Chains A and B, each alone.
Chain A
Amino acid sequence: MRKNLDVISAYAIMLGLIILVGFLQSWNMALSILCFCLISAVMTMGANIQWGYAGLINFGIMGYTALGGLAAVLVSVPPVKEAWQVGGFNMILCAFLIVLMVFSIRFIIKKYNKSAKKNYGIAAVIIVGLILLRLISAPAIESIEAVNPATTGFLGGMGLPILFSWIVGAFFAGALAYIIGKIALGLRADYLAIATLLISEIVIAVIKHEDWLSRGVKNVIGLKRPVPYEIDLQSKEWFINLVEKFNQGTLNLITNTLERQQLLKQLVIESSTVFVKLCFVGLFTAVVIILLIITQKALYSPWGRMMRAIRDNEEAANAMGKNVVKQHLLIFVLGSAIVGIAGAMMVTYDGLFTPGSYRPMRYTFLIWVMVIVGGSGNNFGAILGGFAVWFLWIEAAPIALFLINFFTSGLEETNAFRVHLINSIPYFRYLMMGIGLLLIMRYRPRGILPEKIKHI
């Protein structure tokens, strides 16, 4: 108990802050902050596995998040039959062609030794393949996008419950990470950072502009939820009874039946949104706890010790017969898969997929701030970082407004300087993030909850 005191007190403070928001602003707001805190926590766990356990820098978090979101679309949206009829055959042909290309390149790599001939062979396969792909897919894409472009214009998904997408998202992200890892993991730390950052931009570009796959910047809206809808809840007998029971005290104060009815109606509407959010919180908490148990077990297993050994001294670990390259690839895939889950969770929560909103500031650098602030190498720290930084990110605006009003209270309401500052409140969150990160890195470089290593 004693040694975990810092963890417990840090989490207690965090929960207290969220409850404070519930009292001061609204419970709806507090719960939506909590939901995003939980999603951020999953993302930071993914990044923490890579950075904290293995020392790999992955600045491609945005790409995996978006792939997770894409998985949510491809799993839950019902298939667009018409689009499949006009272009499905060609697209499947293209998929086969890509598989064929990969296998022929592998064949060439195996068959020939390192020579100019091999390089030319690979180049020829790629060029011929790309031309064929272009020829086959171009008419299909055109006709798919022409199918009812205002609402569909894409192939659609599989029409399964959206919860499946959390697993599918993990597989998507893991597959991408496998490819990236094969290409880039040999690079030095900062090269790897830049390469992954740029590759994630390519992923976003593809998702944004391949309309037949994801509807691109036209967005996919109205994804099915795994939890009930507010509007359905409001007419359910049991829910109204539940609300009545909870608010017995306030309701009993009113004697007028009509007023009472009205108040009850309003309370039902309010609590329906809270109830939906609570359902999401339950789902997300389950994911976080499951992942936490798994990662915690992994960290203190022989495998976790090996990863730390590789992180702290690659050459020594190699000399002890550990396959550094293979382990790096494994952990890169695992971490990215977790980020993919978070991406799918986020789209599930929002109910819409907007490829245009994926920006590196929010989805890559902010997550890194969370990991560093929370404490890399410590899962509890990473989760706490996700909570604390997301909380600050959302609550930065009210805090900034308060500070500005406090410091410029000597100036008039209409003072140009004061008005300018108040208009630029949304950008103070960047300032707080930056200064917070710099302070933590300077005075507590291992994070709020530093890594603890049990010595035997």
Chain B
Amino acid sequence: MDFLNAIVLLLNYLFVPALSYGSQLALGAIFVSLIYGILRFAYFTAGDLMSFGTMFTILFTWYFQSLGINLGVLPTALLAIPFGVVITILYVLVKDKLVFSYYRTQKSPPVMLAMVSIGTMFVTQAIVRIVIGPFDRRFFDGEKFILKANEFKEMTGLNEGLTIKSTQVITLLVTIIVVSILFWFLNKTKTGKSMRAYSDNEDLALLSGIDPKKVVMITWIIAAILATIGGALYGLDKSFKPFTYFNNMLPIFAAAIVGGIGNPFGAFLGGYVIAFSEIFITYAYRKFFVYILPESLEPDGLLQLLSTDYKFAVSFSILVIVLLFRPSGIFKGKVL
């Protein structure tokens, strides 16, 4: 019984939260990785693009709520996401036309493009803060829990409860659907294959008649879709605050590099690597050991490897270690 309790404890506090956080990071990491592979620069606007998409999702959610439209037990935001995606796609395409395309035709070095993306980061951040403000916002509605701790306790008779929030399940389901469509697209369709070819070897791809404009456009569209969905899921699960989204850029970059930048599948796994290590290393294991060890050996400290203050530091340290020993990332595989 104690053993089961210990497992439920870990599931409740570590596994389930890490899985949903990891999915949100993974969606971001995939698009950062894609942009790095195809457009060949580090896209510093990543976090702010997510907050841009989320902002429009929230605005549409409010609009639908004011019209009285809702999805019953599901959050209204799910209905608003497609609209947010459309606007974000328009935004990135306009941005590409006005800003990035010039440097592409000039064949500027990647560093230059990264600097330009810092400029767009400032602009995007300003737009988000001017339109919706810098405050913390929750836009979740519908049924909050799928499984409540008390219900679980009654059901199983265990001491430890297992809580599953509906946002966690939604996050996981949406991520699985989106990511499988994406990988199907990249691996099976002609456009997806041409994107991979372009990423592998630009000159060769151009020689074989691939239209670079189309490849770039599709990349931006995918990036906008993933950014909006990832951002909206994160906002549903936690809350929407522009500053947090900007900060999320850092673990997203860590995930993309750990997974091998330019390799979307690696980035996908990298998201989970970062999320799990952040949560596993900063968890206080005292209760867990109380359950599994005999009473005489009961620990007296918190048994925490690192305090939760260092959550970010964990993922960055992993990144540094990976950069040192395997600069190409854990999951090398083929590029893109």
A contact set with B: CB distance below 8 Å: 57, 183-184, 187, 189-191, 193-195, 197-199, 201-202, 205-206, 208-209, 361, 365, 368-369, 372, 421, 423-424, 427-431, 433-435, 437-438, 441-442, 445
Contact = CB atoms under 8 A, between A and B. Distances in A.
Q: Which 7 A-B pairs have the closest CB atoms?
A: A434-B122, A434-B123, A431-B126, A430-B126, A427-B129, A437-B119, A198-B316
Nearest to B315: A198
Nearest to A424: B130
A243 B254 CA distance: 58
Interface in B69-125: 99, 102, 109-112, 114-116, 118-125
Interface of B: 41-42, 99, 102, 109-112, 114-116, 118-127, 129-130, 133-134, 246, 250, 253-254, 257, 307, 309-310, 312-313, 316-317, 319-320, 323-324, 327
18 contacts: A194-B319, A197-B253, A198-B253, A201-B316, A205-B313, A365-B122, A369-B118, A369-B119, A421-B130, A423-B133, A427-B125, A430-B123, A431-B122, A434-B119, A434-B123, A438-B119, A442-B99, A445-B112
Given A187-B323, A199-B316, A433 B122 contact: yes
A382 B129 CA distance: 29
Contact of B112 (A187, A194, A441): A441
A183 B41 contact: no
A429 B130 CA distance: 11
Contacts of A187: 323, 327
A189 B250 CA distance: 17
A183 B316 CA distance: 13
A210 to B, nearest CB: 9
Given A434-B122, A434-B126, A437-B122, A198 B307 contact: no
A427 B309 contact: no
Contact of B118 (A195, A365, A421): A365
Given A201-B313, A205-B309, A424-B129, A190 B123 contact: no
Secondary structure class of chain A's binding surface, majority of residues: helix
B310 A209 contact: yes
A437 B253 CA distance: 23
Given A194-B42, A430-B129, 7 more contacts: A187-B327, A194-B253, A201-B316, A368-B118, A421-B130, A427-B134, A441-B116
A433 B122 CA distance: 7
Most buried by A among B41, B111, B250, B324: B111
A194 B320 CA distance: 10
A199 B253 CA distance: 13
Identify the interface centre among A190, A199, A206, A365: most chain B CB within 10 Å of its CB.
A190
B98 to A, nearest CB: 9
Contact of B313 (A57, A202, A434): A202
Given A424-B129, A427-B129, A442-B102, A194 B257 contact: yes
B contacts with A: majority SS:
helix
B116 A198 contact: no
A357 to B, nearest CB: 13
Contacts of A421: 130
B323 A191 contact: yes
A430 B130 CA distance: 10
B312 A184 contact: no
Contacts of A208: 309
Contacts of A205: 309-310, 312-313
A106 to B, nearest CB: 16
A201 B312 contact: yes
Nearest to A442: B102
A361 B119 CA distance: 12
Contacts of A197: 250, 253
Contacts of B250: 197-198, 201
A441 B319 contact: no
A193 B113 CA distance: 13
Given A190-B41, A430-B122, A430-B126, A441 B115 contact: yes
Contacts of A202: 312-313, 316-317
Given A190-B111, A198-B254, A209-B307, A428 B126 contact: yes
Contacts of B253: 194, 197-198
Given A428-B130, A438-B99, A438-B116, A191 B122 contact: no
Contacts of A365: 118, 121-122
Contacts of B327: 187, 191
Contacts of B133: 423-424
A434 B254 CA distance: 25
A194 B316 CA distance: 10
A375 to B, nearest CB: 14
A445 B307 CA distance: 45
Given A183-B324, A209-B310, A437 B130 contact: no
Contacts of A189: 109-111
A184 B309 CA distance: 24
Contacts of B118: 365, 368-369, 437
A201 B111 CA distance: 21
Nearest to B253: A194
Contact of A193 (B114, B123, B310, B316): B114
Given A205-B313, A372-B115, A190 B42 contact: yes
A294 B177 CA distance: 59
Given A205-B313, A434-B120, A198 B320 contact: yes
B130 A435 contact: no
A369 B116 CA distance: 10
